[in-house]
Amino acid sequence: MQQEIRFYPVGNGDTSQIVLNNGRRLLFDFHHLSTSEDNKGPEINLASTLRDELASVGQDYFDVVAFTHGDKDHIENSTSFFELEHAAKYQGNGRIKIKTLWVPAAMILETAANDEQSDEFVIWRQEARYRLKQGKGIRIFSKPERLKEWLEENDLTLESRRNLITDAGRIVPDFDLTSDGVEFFCHSPFKKHVDESEEYRNEASLIFSIRFKAVDTVVDYLAIGDTTWEILEDIVDISTAKGNQDRLVWDLFNIPHHCSYLALSDEKGEKTTTPKPKVIDLLNCGKKDAFLVSSSKKIGDDKDAYESVQPPHVQAKNAYVDYLEKNEGRAFLVTMEESPEDSPEPLVFVIDENGLSRKKVQIDVRVSTVSKPAVRVG
């Protein structure tokens, strides 16, 4: 069985899945639109698709479900899909189980009033807190001072839950490169981004360098949640200072925040965004034949696209494509452009002894191709 990374066409939202050689499955974020349930697109019917994929291998669970953060486009309709342990009303009726829930510490700690948060975020906060109190079925990323205080307020100690916590700059202990063919290096969140804010912020979202190994071949995937250029510059600085530059290289780069210019700079630019210096360093870490993926709506090239306030921003796309070309990358791909609107399908990458390749190539050369497509990468 080959390893796969699947990106689902869910509009301006995020959902991706990693399927390992040993059958373990990790789902990152969940954005299901009720309007997709008539199966007429353009977004995929995510709930139905995931159920079918699990049923095909006789499973009713994911080994890991990771919420990079709690914004609506990362959790929409998730509380009606998954089985939650903290309340009976969220159990049974064919709900999909979660063996281990991965969340940033901020998802435990946000203290904003309920009317300032989505109902689903509040429910997931309850679930994450319940699992942490139980001491199982959860991994928390970052160990800020506020987490220690929260544990003590709930008659727990940091030491008693330390095995459930992974800090930035560490490898997640739940997976092993030798036995699982993958390892997860946590780049973010940093402690300071949680301790300095009373509200959940994109700055505290999960960012991983995910390394796959197939025989003697290594493939690096930068999985970046919604974030800003300031955080990416911090990641470059800290990785360099700690001697972890190898965790900046990438064969596959998941573009932050639906191709927003704010992941590159604070200035959108007229025709193209000019990235900040350390972001340029990160973009230049792309290997030959690498891919960029934008989980977003289609990106136009007309007057309306250039004036759009909301992402995706064509100026950001132009910048990404420019650096991809400079580094002899393969293609810039948009999830909502890679399959027919009337039958949306995941964008699937395969990792095997030959490296990284697309399972099904449907690149629209007018908007997506950077250089000639080939069958294999690596």
pTM: 0.92
**Beta-ladder partners of 281:** none
Helix (H, G, I), strand (E, B) or coil at 366: coil
How many Å apart are CA 206 and CA 106, to the nearest integer?
10
| pLDDT number for residue 202 | 57
φ/ψ bin of 108: left (φ > 0), alpha (ψ from -120 to 50), beta (otherwise): alpha
**Superfamily of chain region 3-358:** Ribonuclease Z/Hydroxyacylglutathione hydrolase-like (3.60.15.10)
pLDDT for position 199: 52
Query: What span, in angstroms and rounded, lies between the C-alpha atoms of 269 and 178?
Result: 45
Please give the pLDDT value at position 342: 85
Q: Which residues of the chain register pLDDT less than 50?
A: 200, 361-378
Taking only the tens place, the pLDDT of each residue in 146-178 is: 999 999 999 999 999 999 999 999 999 999 999
Q: Which of 253, 223, 220 has the alpha carbon at shortest distance from 351? A: 220
- Digit-coded pLDDT (tens) for 326-362: 999 999 999 999 988 888 999 999 999 999 999 864 4
What whole-number distance in Å separates Cα of residue 2 and Cα of residue 158?
39
Place of tokens 């990792």: 351
221 φ, ψ to 5°? Answer: -125, 120
Pinpoint the alpha helices (H) of 37-195.
46-55, 72-75, 106-109, 119-134, 145-153, 158-161, 191-195
